[in-house]
Amino acid sequence: MIQDLLLKKPYLAWYVKDKRKLSKKAAVEAILNYGTWQDFLEAERILGVKEMRSIFEELKKKRGNLRVKTINYFNLYFSKYA
């Protein structure tokens, strides 16, 4: 589960007491905003590139919590690899 990654790396969602209750969408958002490249690759391994892209597209449309540079980078990444 993607939440297990957050349990191993508490700096990704330091603002949440019980990380197991986070949705996949919230977990991916935390990884995209605060994670390292290795954190992203591990999340992608867990969820798969297509599901990561789907969640990213939802985050991009419905929530404004991603940085402009993050959105630009992952637009390019997912257009090439997903």
Q: What domain range includes position 57? A: 2-11+19-81
pLDDT of the residue at 11: 86
Give the chain's domain count: 1
Compute the distance between CA of residue 45 and CA of residue 59 in angstroms, rounded to an integer. Answer: 19
Which are the contacts of 35, defined by CB distance < 8 A and separation ≥ 6? 9, 12, 43
- In this predicted model, what pLDDT tens digit does every residue of 16-68 receive, in sequence order? 888 888 889 999 999 999 999 999 999 999 999 999 999 999 998 886 789 89
